[in-house]
Chain A
Amino acid sequence: MYLPNMGIVFAAASALIISAFIYMVVLTEKQRKAKASLEYSLDKLKKTYDELDEQAKIIVRKDLELNTAQEELDKKINSLYTLHKLSKAISSTFDSEKFFSQIDKSFIEELGFNKGLVLLLDKDTRELTLPVLIGYTPEEQGQIKEYCHQNPVLEQFNQPILVAQDSLLDQAKNELLPTLKVNSFCAVPIISQEAMLGLMIVGNDLPYTQATEGDLEILSILAGQIAGGLENVRLYEQLWHSHQDLEQRVAERTKELALANEKLKKIDKLKSEFVSAVSHELRTPLTSIKGYAAILMAGKLGEVPEAVKERLKKINLHSDTLTKMVNDLLDISRIEAGKVTMKLQSLNIKEAVTEAVDLIAPQLKEKKIQLSIEVAENLPSCLADKIQLERVLTNLLGNALKFTGEKGKISLKAKEEKDALQIDVQDSGIGIAKEELSNIFEEFYRADNPINQKVKGTGLGLALVKRIIEAHQGKIWVSSEPKKGTTFSFTLPKA
């Protein structure tokens, strides 16, 4: 009874064991597979991770490159800004001190450095100056100045150069590093027209900022700007000096001229005084000559033969001419010396003109000259000395008459100008040559023409007229065309 049961149990147990075994076999297989796939994934993940890390390397390398490039770019941009600023400053000033004062601490820093200096060599005195010394204590400044004065720095750096601690240059160049207290520096000569004017050096004592080739380029441009600026300053100073020189010379000449003028005035005065004195002395004997001639002619000392009388008449006539001449001369010199005061009064021009015309009426008739008088109605009165004005008019009318041929025309016009009265005496006479116009108001000047050669004159008439008009604060001038006629114009103040 048990056995079959046992059999069933056994079978069941066997089946259970077998199925468990099969299950286990299947399970291990699954696990194995899962593990393998897990391992595979892990491996893949690890690979991806490594790959990502490799990519990270590329990224950081690129980033570093980018940062370095950016830094260089930043520096360049800064430098360009700075350059632009300095260029503006340089071109707007002619004072070298002023534009060197633009190269200050912030300027050097914007260029990407913290120390800077400029050495300048005076062309003439060969003296070395350091107008720019930035980033140093007063003590260090003293040391650098001393070094520059004792060493041929300018000769050493006649080419743009980059000096750093590890650069393989000659000892002398590297020696400047500790002197300037920098780790690296750029030195660029300031050259204008082949001549070395100086040297610009900028440097850094910071370990992370080394001067680069890019800096050297920018600095070379800067040095060029400075050279240009210095050249401008030099030219400007030269110009300024020559201008000063010129001004001084002009001043000297003016002074000389003033002195000469003073001298001339003195001489002129002496001349006037001399003429005045001489004329005065001449008048007395002339009066005697005329007097005696008159006595002789009157026959008070006995009968005078006709021939003698004729000669005496000539003595009288020439004495009169001489007296007139002496009188005119005397008048000129007295007016010139201010010894004659014009007795100014309000005068009607028309009346004065009529009176003067009356005096020459006979001659006009004789030469059949047509005289027209145009004096505007209600012309204001003038302020003048009656006798002197008559003298002016008779002189001018006399001249017109003298140089106008028969049947000629003379016109006399008076009109009102802005603040004076103007009188024109116009004739249709022979006229005056252009080159003589400027001389005719001078004493003893007589225009070169046939009439003057025939008719005697003193050459004092126009000179006197000019003096009289000027004594009235008036002006006199002449316009003329040969063979057509002459116009004398003068002005007189209004009453």
Chain B
Amino acid sequence: MAIRAGVGTSENTDPFQAGKEAAAKLCLNAQEDFFDLLLVFASAKFDPQKLLAGIRSVSPDIPLIGCSSAGEITSRGVSSSSLAIMGIKSDSLRFATGLGCGLKADARAAGHHCAQEAIKTRLSNRHVFIMFPDGLTANGADLIRGAQEVLGTSFPIVGGSSGDDFLFEKTYQYYRNQAYSDAVAGILLGGDALLGIGTRHGWHAIGKEHRVSRARGNIIEKLDGKQAIKLYRDYFGEQAEDLRKLSWAKIGTIYPLGMAIPDERENLIRYAFKATEAGSLVCAAEVPEGSLVRLMIADKEGVLTAAREAALEAKAALKGAKIKAAIIFDSVARKRILGRLAKEEINVIKKALGEPCPIIGFYSYGEQAPLRAQRYIGKSYFHNETVVVLCLAENHTRGK
């Protein structure tokens, strides 16, 4: 019933060497040569194929899954242009992986296929499905629906969308020995273990509600009957003049759009990472036509408080069991708004989790998590600006 985990990192600029170095450090830190699963998060700058080859030169044949990111997280804090690997070894946890391709063409089908492949491996006691979809091409909400067709609507799905250091150009998904783009890599966790999931963002709605008057999938074309981008022009005035240029990523991520969900404390957030020439907003997931959205705003303290609450929520679900590993899916927007305090968010999470444990995570372009995770009955949604904390612990209550 043991779960052992460790983390290895590298800042080497050569992708092969970085992979080799991080994998070797992982073995050294965890005092293990073989793992049952490798979670890999790395800067998109690395040639992904060479990176994986480097990792494989040390740890061949182990199930490997992960994605490129906009910053890597370990218990030591936050780094960029680096590589972080977590190795998990357990005689009680079971893993089944799946892959879905062609997100842009049909995200729902890709999500369906990914979950279908994972579910083929018969796992007793399924706990959670972790997904790493392309953060630029997918309609995240559609993707989740696809996976839910297979797993059931209330089965918990968590994860983060791949990033590329804020470039918003091309991201990668790592699956076994291959790197993909426009794909989703998924992993089903089963077996005997305890899991805790916490989700928060800390953004607040401000100003009027606006009706999405025309939308196609993850693209909002019109808000209140006007060009979607007009909303931002209206609110930010001159500062938003250059919305299609460099500052867009900043405004779009720090001030996203939020949708109210009945009975849920926090709004569901959608951020637009791109504005088209026609003035439409490209979001990380769909915003259905007719829905009412509001501009969202956040302050650093609120963001940090949200992180603490997410960690506490995840920890509470373990009912006092010792945390063996923590995985954090953290929105790039949070890194952006916290600036120098980005490391502080990880410290806040560490402090909330209490005892030290191996931590891995990455800054993502979108997050997936159930809305009311602690009750395990909530439907999973696609989020933005959110931090998702997933904790693993050994289950010692069974059989007693």
| A interface residues, Cβ below 8 angstroms from B | 49-50, 52-53, 56-57, 59-61, 63-65, 67, 70-71, 74, 77-78, 105, 109, 114, 135-138, 183, 205-208, 210
Chain B residues whose CB sits within 8 angstroms of the CB of A60 once the complex forms: 206-207, 235-236, 255, 295, 297
A64 touches B11 (CB 8 A): no
A64 touches B255 (CB 8 A): yes
Known: A71-B339, A207-B249. A114 touches B206 (CB 8 A): no
Min CB–CB distance B171 → chain A (angstroms): 15
Binding site of B, secondary structure by majority: helix, strand, loop or mixed?
mixed
Chain B 236-254 interface mask (CB, 8 Å, partner A; 1/0):
1101000000110111001
> In the assembly, what is the distance between CA of A135 and CA of B239, in Å?
31
Chain A residues whose CB sits within 8 angstroms of the CB of B166 once the complex forms: 206-208
B13 touches A208 (CB 8 A): no
A61 touches B236 (CB 8 A): yes
A210 touches B208 (CB 8 A): no
A59 touches B297 (CB 8 A): yes
- 27 residue pairs bridging A and B, Cβ less than 8 Å apart: A49-B208, A52-B207, A53-B207, A56-B206, A56-B208, A56-B235, A57-B236, A57-B237, A59-B206, A60-B207, A60-B236, A61-B236, A61-B237, A64-B239, A64-B255, A70-B339, A74-B339, A74-B340, A105-B11, A114-B81, A135-B13, A138-B13, A138-B14, A206-B166, A206-B167, A207-B168, A208-B246
> In the assembly, what is the distance between CA of A255 and CA of B81, in Å?
60
How many residue pairs link A and B with beta carbons under 8 A? The number is 75
B255 touches A137 (CB 8 A): no
> In the assembly, what is the distance between CA of A105 and CA of B340, in Å?
17
Min CB–CB distance A61 → chain B (angstroms): 6
Min CB–CB distance A356 → chain B (angstroms): 89
With contacts A59-B206, A105-B81 known, what are 6 further pairs, Cβ within 8 A? A61-B236, A61-B239, A105-B11, A136-B13, A137-B14, A206-B166
Q: Does B337 contact A (CB under 8 A)?
A: yes
Min CB–CB distance A324 → chain B (angstroms): 93
Which of A61, A183, A205 makes the CB contact (< 8 A) with B235?
A61
> In the assembly, what is the distance between CA of A207 and CA of B167, in Å?
6
Chain B residues whose CB sits within 8 angstroms of the CB of A78 once the complex forms: 340
Q: Which residue of the partner chain A has the closest CB to B232?
A: A60
Q: Which residue of the partner chain B has the closest CB to A205?
A: B167
Binding site of A, secondary structure by majority: helix, strand, loop or mixed?
helix
> In the assembly, what is the distance between CA of A52 and CA of B81, in Å?
43
> In the assembly, what is the distance between CA of A135 and CA of B12, in Å?
10
* CB proximity to A under 8 Å, residues B336-353: 336-337, 339-340
Q: Does B134 contact A (CB under 8 A)?
A: no
Chain A residues whose CB sits within 8 angstroms of the CB of B250 once the complex forms: 67, 208
Known: A56-B295, A59-B297, A114-B81. A64 touches B207 (CB 8 A): no
Name the 8 nearest CB pairs between A and B, nearest first: A56-B207, A74-B340, A53-B208, A74-B339, A56-B206, A208-B249, A53-B207, A57-B235
Chain A residues whose CB sits within 8 angstroms of the CB of B237 once the complex forms: 57, 61
Q: Does B72 contact A (CB under 8 A)?
A: no
Q: Does B227 contact A (CB under 8 A)?
A: no
Min CB–CB distance B237 → chain A (angstroms): 6
Q: Which residue of the partner chain A has the closest CB to B205?
A: A56
* Residue with the greatest number of chain B CB neighbours at <10 A, chosen from A136, A205, A206, A210: A206
> In the assembly, what is the distance between CA of A59 and CA of B251, in Å?
14
Q: Does B165 contact A (CB under 8 A)?
A: yes
* Residue with the greatest number of chain A CB neighbours at <10 A, chosen from B80, B206, B247, B249: B206
> In the assembly, what is the distance between CA of A480 and CA of B246, in Å?
97
Q: Which residue of the partner chain B has the closest CB to A139?
A: B14
Chain A residues whose CB sits within 8 angstroms of the CB of B263 once the complex forms: none
Q: Does B234 contact A (CB under 8 A)?
A: yes
A210 touches B13 (CB 8 A): no
Chain A residues whose CB sits within 8 angstroms of the CB of B235 once the complex forms: 56-57, 60-61
> In the assembly, what is the distance between CA of A136 and CA of B251, in Å?
29
Chain A residues whose CB sits within 8 angstroms of the CB of B247 once the complex forms: 208
> In the assembly, what is the distance between CA of A447 and CA of B175, in Å?
107
Which of A53, A205, A210 makes the CB contact (< 8 A) with B246?
A210
Q: Which residue of the partner chain B has the closest CB to A59?
A: B206
* CB proximity to A under 8 Å, residues B300-325: none
Min CB–CB distance A178 → chain B (angstroms): 15
Q: Which residue of the partner chain A has the closest CB to B11?
A: A105
* CB proximity to A under 8 Å, residues B220-278: 234-237, 239, 246-247, 249-251, 254-255
Q: Which residue of the partner chain A has the closest CB to B210?
A: A53
> In the assembly, what is the distance between CA of A137 and CA of B208, in Å?
49
Chain B residues whose CB sits within 8 angstroms of the CB of A49 once the complex forms: 208
Min CB–CB distance A250 → chain B (angstroms): 49
Chain B residues whose CB sits within 8 angstroms of the CB of A105 once the complex forms: 11, 81
A57 touches B255 (CB 8 A): no
Chain B residues whose CB sits within 8 angstroms of the CB of A109 once the complex forms: 80
Q: Which residue of the partner chain A has the closest CB to B234?
A: A57
Q: Which residue of the partner chain A has the closest CB to B298?
A: A63
> In the assembly, what is the distance between CA of A135 and CA of B43, in Å?
12
B337 touches A67 (CB 8 A): yes
> In the assembly, what is the distance between CA of A71 and CA of B339, in Å?
7
Min CB–CB distance B334 → chain A (angstroms): 13
> In the assembly, what is the distance between CA of A49 and CA of B206, in Å?
11
